[in-house]
Amino acid sequence: MIAPVEKSPHECWLDVLGLVDTALTARPAMHNAPSVAERNGARRVYVEAVDKLIDTLEAMARRGHLNDIGAFLDVQFGRV
C-alpha cells in the first residue's frame, strides 16, 4: 500500500476553499433544480462536499495546519 502524500498547509487550505465553493454552488440547485433527479443529484454533491470538508478540517487539525490560515491568506492576497 502506498502511503498518502502529505500536503502542505497551503494545499490543504486550497482544498478547503474548493470544497466550500462546491457546496455553495450545489446548495441552490438542491431547491431550485427543475426535476427531482437534478435536485437529488445536487443534494448528493452537496453532502459529499460537506463530508469531505469536515474530514479535511479534522485532518488539518491533527497536523496543526489550522493555525496556518494567516500565512495562507497572506499568500492569497499578495501580502508576502
Residue 1 is predicted with a pLDDT of: 46
- What sign for the dihedral angle of Cα 15, 43, 51, 70? positive
Does residue 1 sit within a domain?
no
Between CA 24 and CA 38 the distance in angstroms is 16
Does residue 32 sit within a domain?
yes
Does residue 2 sit within a domain?
no
Domain coverage including residue 45: 9-76
Which tens digits make up the pLDDT trace of 52-76? 999 999 988 888 888 888 888 888 8
Does residue 4 sit within a domain?
no
Percent of the chain with pLDDT strictly greater than 70:
92
- Place 5 in a pLDDT band, splitting at 50, 70 and 90: low
Domain count, the chain: 1
Does residue 69 sit within a domain?
yes
- Place 28 in a pLDDT band, splitting at 50, 70 and 90: very high
